[in-house]
């Protein structure tokens, strides 16, 4: 056994290791490293070790992971707040209006007017003719007669529908109500801004599609089946373009002109006086009709009367015989 002199005491190997450990612990407490522990012990394979740093030097190793997580959360919050859209941009906050609603200056309005006029019964037909003549002659501007109706009888009426320039609406209404009583009047307005925008978008899309199809048509090497299918597609696209053009023209016509409907009807008092006059004039016909109805009623009730008389006579005879008995 190998001996070592340390203050006159011989130490065996276990004692020597214990002495070294005590010296290392004392050196750590004093803030220095023991000179006897020149090389740290090699850890076992798979075992976890925690290094202990000297007092007053560096940050503790155990707080690194929580602080890193906290910094990551703060960075994510700042990034999310920086990339968030401003209020009202995508529905957040108070929006000024719907996306599809046009501004007031972009409104495209179509007007429809309805006017009722009460006239004398004999003045309805001449007034209807005067309105039609004024429209055909374009007296108050461009005018198109769309509909004209006339009904006679006890309550004569007339109705005319016109499409004309906005400047001629009021003069035409004044002509219809001349020497008459103004009845009801209503105005209906429809905003066509969205419809016009959709039609224009459809026209642009169809034009681009037709251009692409025509570019395919000019390519060499197409088979017969491909050429037939391409021709059918081009024809269908052209038909859709024509329909969109007609729709756009109709919308523009409704915006540039206004619809006017005039109802002409007889006055209530005039209708009542006419009814009395017709009743006096038809007195002969009414008397003849009543006489004929009475004769028919008597002929209808005669068989029933005979049956009732016979039944009454038989009942009376039976009653007399019973009293005698």
- State pLDDT tens for residues 265-289: 988 755 555 667 667 777 888 888 8
Q: What is the mean pLDDT of residues 131-146?
A: 92
pTM of the model: 0.50
Question: Do residues 204 and 237 touch, judged by C-beta distance below 8 A?
Answer: no
Q: How far apart are CA 201 and CA 195, in angstroms?
A: 10
Residue 139: CB partners within 8 Å, gap ≥ 6? Answer: 168, 171
Of the pLDDT bands very low, low, confident and very high (cuts 50, 70, 90), residue 201 is very high
Residue 96 has pLDDT above 80, yes or no: no
Return the pLDDT at 222.
82
Residue 158, burial from CB neighbour count under 10 angstroms (0-12, 13-18, 19+)? buried
Beta-strand runs (E) in the chain: 5-6, 9-10, 109-119, 143-151, 157-164, 181-191, 258-266
Of the pLDDT bands very low, low, confident and very high (cuts 50, 70, 90), residue 121 is confident
Tell me whether strands 109-119 and 258-266 are parallel, antiparallel or unpaired: parallel
Return the pLDDT at 223.
86
Return the pLDDT at 323.
83
In this structure, what are the phi and psi dihedrals at residue 163, rounded to the nearest 5 degrees? Answer: -120, 120
Q: Tokens representing 195?
A: 């419809």
Q: How far apart are CA 279 and CA 55, in angstroms?
A: 129
Q: Please report, rounded to a whole number, the percentage of residues in the chain having pLDDT higher than 90.
A: 34
């Amino acid at each position: 056994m190998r001996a070592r002199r340390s203050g006159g005491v011989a130490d065996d190997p276990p004692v020597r290791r214990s002495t070294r450990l005590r010296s290392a612990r004392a050196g750590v407490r004093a803030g220095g490293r023991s000179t006897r522990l020149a090389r740290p012990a090699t850890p076992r394979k798979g075992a976890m070790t925690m290094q202990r740093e000297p007092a007053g030097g560096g940050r503790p190793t155990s707080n690194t992971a929580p602080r890193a997580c906290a910094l990551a959360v703060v960075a994510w919050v700042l990034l999310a707040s920086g990339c968030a859209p401003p209020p009202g941009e995508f529905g957040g906050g108070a929006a000024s209006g719907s996306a599809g609603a046009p501004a007031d200056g972009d409104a495209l309005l179509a007007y429809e007017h309805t006017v009722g006029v009460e006239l004398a019964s004999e003045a309805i037909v001449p007034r209807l003719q005067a309105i039609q003549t004024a429209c055909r002659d374009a007296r108050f501007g461009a005018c198109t007669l769309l509909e004209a109706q006339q009904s006679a009888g006890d309550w004569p009426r007339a109705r005319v529908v016109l499409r004309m320039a906005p400047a001629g609406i009021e003069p035409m209404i004044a002509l219809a109500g001349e020497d008459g009583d103004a009845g009801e009047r209503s105005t209906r307005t429809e905003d066509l801004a969205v419809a016009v925008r959709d039609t224009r978008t459809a026209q642009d899309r169809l034009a681009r599609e037709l251009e692409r199809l025509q570019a395919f048509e000019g390519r060499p090497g197409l088979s017969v089946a491909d050429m037939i299918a391409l021709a059918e597609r081009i024809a269908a696209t052209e038909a859709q373009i024509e329909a969109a053009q007609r729709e756009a023209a109709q919308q523009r016509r409704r915006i540039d002109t206004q619809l006017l409907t005039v109802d002409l009807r007889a006055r209530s008092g005039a209708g009542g006086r006419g009814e009395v006059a017709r009743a006096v004039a038809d007195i002969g016909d009414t008397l003849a009709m009543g006489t004929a109805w009475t004769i028919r009623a008597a002929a209808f009730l005669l068989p029933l009367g005979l049956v009732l008389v016979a039944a009454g006579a038989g009942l009376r005879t039976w009653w007399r015989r019973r009293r005698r008995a």
